Chain A
Amino acid sequence: MDLKPIDAIPTDDERAAVDHVLAARPPTRDLLLPVLRAIQARVGWISKGALAHACARLHVPPAEAWGVATFYHLLATEPSPRRVLHVCDDVACRARGSAQIAESLAKGASRDDAAWKRSPCLGQCERAPAALLVQAGAPPIERAIGPIDAAIAREAIDGAPPTTPASSGVHQPRESLRLLARVGVVDPESLDDYRAHGGFSALRRAHELGAAWVIREVTDAKLLGRGGAGFPAGRKWAAVAQQPTSTRYVVCNADESEPGTFKDRVLLEEDPFAIVEAIAIAAFAVSAARAFVYVRGEYPLAAARVEHAIAAARRRGLLGDLPIEVRRGAGAYVCGEETALLESLEGRRGEPRSKPPFPVERGLFAAPTVINNVETLAAALLVVRDGAEAFTAIGTAESAGPRLFCLSGDVAHPGVYEAPMGLPLRALIELAGGATQGIAGVLLGGAAGTFVGPDELDLRLTFEDTRRAGTTLGSGVVVVFRDGTDFGAVLHGLAGFFRHESCGQCVPCRVGTAKLDELLARVRAGAPDGSWDDERARLRDLGHVLREASICGLGQSAASAVESAARRFAIWPDVGKREEDR
């Protein structure tokens, strides 16, 4: 290409950061995000000189690299302090007082070398309120902490870096656990320990019985995707395996970013070998040449554990010649959407693609690609190990198998819980020690999900029951809100989240999420633009255009929680009761 380079010189540190990533590999475009991340990790921000060097090494047009750098909110494109505390400001942490911590920090003195920022959900909801400390350097420090209070947060900004909190473990009887069976039991950094607990027997079985058998078994198990969309995993695998091509990929979607979701993080941190084994099985089943694990940027420990597990398994020869590479996000909720994730993996802005074509036909680098959520792969591992029949014996006819739920908010023991599909919501909350106070409502499925009221707690947690009830399991989020919750504030927070996370590609989402946020600000302030009927009409119209006309699931579900709340709770200042009763 006849590119024009940026006229700026990198510092030695910036040069070293870029060159380290490219030391032992060809400088391909898809390494742009790893390179930008490396600069950020080493220096704390991406200067003009650093960008110049990244572009020169990767032959990326500077304008495009700038577009990528400004897309991800963990990348700073203006001079930034070396140490930044990202304080979670999202739904689960707010339910536990994160707003007060932020208020307190805002009153403190600012410093040149350290700062704090509000962050969307960090996926540490069982430790709410939580934060992520990032300190640039060689090596950098990246550490999740929680629960925090204002004093801990201040100390994290000003004092010695805090230590990693202990694993939050499992709070339910172990006998019934399958997906979580090894969590808190095996040493996540010991391949021997994993193997002593039956690890890599499923991969061996897959090799013995063949790729076709694996795909049939996963299909027969009726395993539906656990990331939120609920697509049959077996159909995905079969579709990729059937494509007439020699190049196929497997991508593990570990960009768990749905507010209130942290199950995948727990699996990656506590049982990383299982995910690696499952990826190897998927790659074997579809004859993939290469596999990737895309871990969200806010999960340093998960990424490190998986990287370690891949290296250990490779050294032991368990992965054959399959390259599995961990790539990390850099702060973009939308990259949990599968095609946005693929764009990000290719070194571009995480903007979702138009579907069709679906990734099974045209995925990563335009090749057929299996892209599965972490828990889906963990469930597939169970299917291959124990057979489809054992899997379908759990759950209901349409919703087979066990499933992970992320309980947070006003429950006694926030955490990840495994339950057979079909368990009523009330029983699941009981499993977590019950609500701390009377329940005003529950958010199912995360920010992209819906609220249910206290009269809906008998809802059975299956794909079919939630669909009938007009709600969703989503990614297994269950956030409990106690009586007296200011839903106006909760909804405004959710709308602000989508406004912050919209990629900006399509008009309905880019503008619609901003207008939804503005509308909820007016609701909270009790100051309508025109009449409240006008505002209700606006909400209805925004919901319609977001749901019907947005490119991807982010926009399509951006108003769903708000709309569901408007149906159930008294959110409108002019009506003291539910809209549906009027």
Chain B
Amino acid sequence: MAHDGGLVPLRRKVQLTIDGAHVTATEGQTILDVARSLGLDVPTLCFAPNLSPANACRLCVVELEGARTLVPSCARLVEPGMVVTTDSPRVRDARRMVLELLAATVDMQATPRFAEWCARYGARVDRFGAPEARAVVDDNALFVRDYAKCMLCYKCVEACGDDAQHTFAIAVAGRGAHATIATELDTPLPDSACVFCGNCVGVCPTAALQFRAEHELRAAGSWDETKQTRTDTVCPYCGVGCVLTLHVQDDRIVKVTSPSDSAVTHGQLCVKGRFGFEYLGRR
């Protein structure tokens, strides 16, 4: 007998309207889940399917009839009778502004699809000024932290914390415009609680966290995702069987991630799975 049930209780069906289409969703889904299942391209930055909604970037906002303000589709659960519009002028204006505000304060150039979204929403990236330069934090052999690229999406904190790794080596420190991702007293990572699982690197949407190889290739101007292949295989260390996605450029592994929908990993790895591939090149 095949089992796929588990403890998930029976979920009610929910009828709602998205962009004029009547849809039947399942209780517990978010507006974003349903919109994407309809093929609607709702942009997101701080959302990750394997983390709880950080609800921070506000790029995924949509119009919900009866709501005073726009609502974040990544965090808002569907309710019966909702009438949702995902691409009204009100929504487009808000998204355009989120993009412009990000571009004014963060180096978004390495963020996949950012330029495409700016074009789509008519965002002018220089309208509110340019981001300040920040020194790259290079305190360990495995990855670097380029906080000029950090948009404070909270994903790394969640992945390090109670959404996955439970190491709690980093948190948001400071407040408002001075908020940053930090260890306690900005202690270097090797002296902090960090166990170098790299789950922060795995979820970073803006390449603020980079494998050393990526950092070096970017610095040399030779990082090229169009030349990269991604291949799923299985980690050689221990018997858990974590799925590794090998990112390969020019026959060299430049990055390792794991699919967020893997039943084994939920997208998370340990230090050996994430960084332990270097022996391949030492022969």
Interface residues of A (CB under 8 A from B): 1-4, 6-7, 48, 51, 61-67, 70-71, 73, 77, 332, 349, 354, 356, 499-508, 510-515, 518, 538, 541-542, 544-545, 547-551, 556
Complex contact B182–A67 (CB within 8 A):
yes
**Distance in Å from the Cβ of B91 to the closest Cβ of chain A?**
8
Complex contact A67–B104 (CB within 8 A):
no
The 8 Å CB contact of A541, one of B76, B93, B173, is: B93
Given contact pairs A63-B183, A511-B177, A544 touches B172 in the complex (Cβ within 8 A):
no
**Distance in Å from the Cβ of B77 to the closest Cβ of chain A?**
8
A52 — nearest CB in chain B belongs to which residue? B184
Asked if B53 is at the interface of the complex by the 8 Å CB criterion, the answer is: yes
User: Which 7 pairs of residues, A with B, have the shortest CB-CB distance?
Assistant: A61-B168, A504-B179, A545-B97, A67-B171, A62-B184, A511-B101, A4-B193
A504 — nearest CB in chain B belongs to which residue? B179
Asked if B69 is at the interface of the complex by the 8 Å CB criterion, the answer is: yes
CA distance A547 to B129 in the complex (A): 21
Interface residues of B (CB under 8 A from A): 53, 55-59, 61, 69-70, 72, 75-77, 90, 93-94, 96-98, 100-102, 104-105, 127-129, 151-152, 154, 161, 166-179, 182-185, 191-193
The 8 Å CB contact of B176, one of A4, A356, A501, A515, is: A501
The 8 Å CB contact of B177, one of A4, A67, A504, A549, is: A504
Q: List 16 A-B contacts (CB under 8 A).
A: A48-B185, A51-B185, A62-B193, A63-B182, A63-B184, A63-B193, A64-B171, A77-B185, A506-B55, A507-B58, A510-B177, A511-B177, A515-B129, A538-B128, A551-B55, A556-B69
The 8 Å CB contact of A508, one of B58, B168, B175, B178, is: B58
Complex contact B97–A549 (CB within 8 A):
yes
CA distance A503 to B55 in the complex (A): 14
In the bound complex, residues from chain B placing their C-beta under 8 Å from that of A504 are 152, 172, 174-179
Complex contact B173–A70 (CB within 8 A):
yes
CA distance A556 to B178 in the complex (A): 20
**Distance in Å from the Cβ of A425 to the closest Cβ of chain B?**
25
CA distance A73 to B97 in the complex (A): 29
Given contact pairs A3-B168, A61-B193, A545-B101, A538 touches B127 in the complex (Cβ within 8 A):
yes
In the bound complex, residues from chain B placing their C-beta under 8 Å from that of A556 are 69
CA distance A515 to B100 in the complex (A): 11
In the bound complex, residues from chain A placing their C-beta under 8 Å from that of B170 are 63
**Listed residue (B129, B152, B184) with the most chain A CB atoms within 10 angstroms of its CB:** B184
CA distance A368 to B219 in the complex (A): 52
CA distance A513 to B178 in the complex (A): 12
In the bound complex, residues from chain A placing their C-beta under 8 Å from that of B105 are 511, 514
List 20 extra interface pairs beyond A506-B55, A548-B61, A549-B94, CB under 8 A: A4-B193, A51-B185, A61-B193, A63-B173, A63-B182, A66-B185, A67-B173, A77-B185, A354-B75, A499-B176, A504-B152, A504-B179, A505-B179, A513-B177, A514-B177, A515-B104, A538-B128, A548-B70, A549-B97, A550-B69
Q: Is the interface of A mostly helix, strand, loop or mixed?
A: helix
B53 — nearest CB in chain A belongs to which residue? A354
Count, A-B residue pairs, CB within 8 A: 163
**Distance in Å from the Cβ of A472 to the closest Cβ of chain B?**
13
CA distance A513 to B128 in the complex (A): 12
Complex contact B94–A544 (CB within 8 A):
yes
A47 — nearest CB in chain B belongs to which residue? B185
The 8 Å CB contact of A51, one of B69, B72, B104, B184, is: B184
Given contact pairs A504-B172, A544-B93, A549 touches B70 in the complex (Cβ within 8 A):
yes
CA distance A493 to B127 in the complex (A): 23
CA distance A484 to B94 in the complex (A): 36
Complex contact A548–B174 (CB within 8 A):
no
**Listed residue (A73, A356, A504) with the most chain B CB atoms within 10 angstroms of its CB:** A504
Complex contact B128–A515 (CB within 8 A):
yes
Given contact pairs A51-B184, A511-B102, A549-B61, A63 touches B168 in the complex (Cβ within 8 A):
yes
Complex contact B175–A506 (CB within 8 A):
no
B69 — nearest CB in chain A belongs to which residue? A548
Complex contact A547–B69 (CB within 8 A):
yes
**Distance in Å from the Cβ of A144 to the closest Cβ of chain B?**
23
CA distance A106 to B169 in the complex (A): 39
CA distance A506 to B151 in the complex (A): 10
**Distance in Å from the Cβ of B102 to the closest Cβ of chain A?**
6
Complex contact A1–B166 (CB within 8 A):
yes
Complex contact A508–B55 (CB within 8 A):
no
In the bound complex, residues from chain B placing their C-beta under 8 Å from that of A65 are 184
Given contact pairs A354-B72, A506-B57, A66 touches B168 in the complex (Cβ within 8 A):
no
Given contact pairs A63-B184, A538-B128, A549 touches B152 in the complex (Cβ within 8 A):
no
Complex contact A508–B97 (CB within 8 A):
yes
Complex contact A548–B168 (CB within 8 A):
no
Given contact pairs A354-B55, A354-B75, A506-B56, A541 touches B174 in the complex (Cβ within 8 A):
no
Given contact pairs A518-B129, A549-B97, A503 touches B184 in the complex (Cβ within 8 A):
no
**Distance in Å from the Cβ of B4 to the closest Cβ of chain A?**
29
In the bound complex, residues from chain B placing their C-beta under 8 Å from that of A61 are 161, 168-169, 171, 193
In the bound complex, residues from chain B placing their C-beta under 8 Å from that of A538 are 127-128
A77 — nearest CB in chain B belongs to which residue? B185
In the bound complex, residues from chain B placing their C-beta under 8 Å from that of A3 are 168, 193
CA distance A559 to B183 in the complex (A): 33
Complex contact A507–B184 (CB within 8 A):
no
CA distance A545 to B178 in the complex (A): 20
In the bound complex, residues from chain A placing their C-beta under 8 Å from that of B154 are 505
In the bound complex, residues from chain A placing their C-beta under 8 Å from that of B127 are 538
**Distance in Å from the Cβ of A489 to the closest Cβ of chain B?**
21
**Listed residue (B75, B93, B175, B182) with the most chain A CB atoms within 10 angstroms of its CB:** B175
**Distance in Å from the Cβ of B26 to the closest Cβ of chain A?**
18
**Distance in Å from the Cβ of A363 to the closest Cβ of chain B?**
17
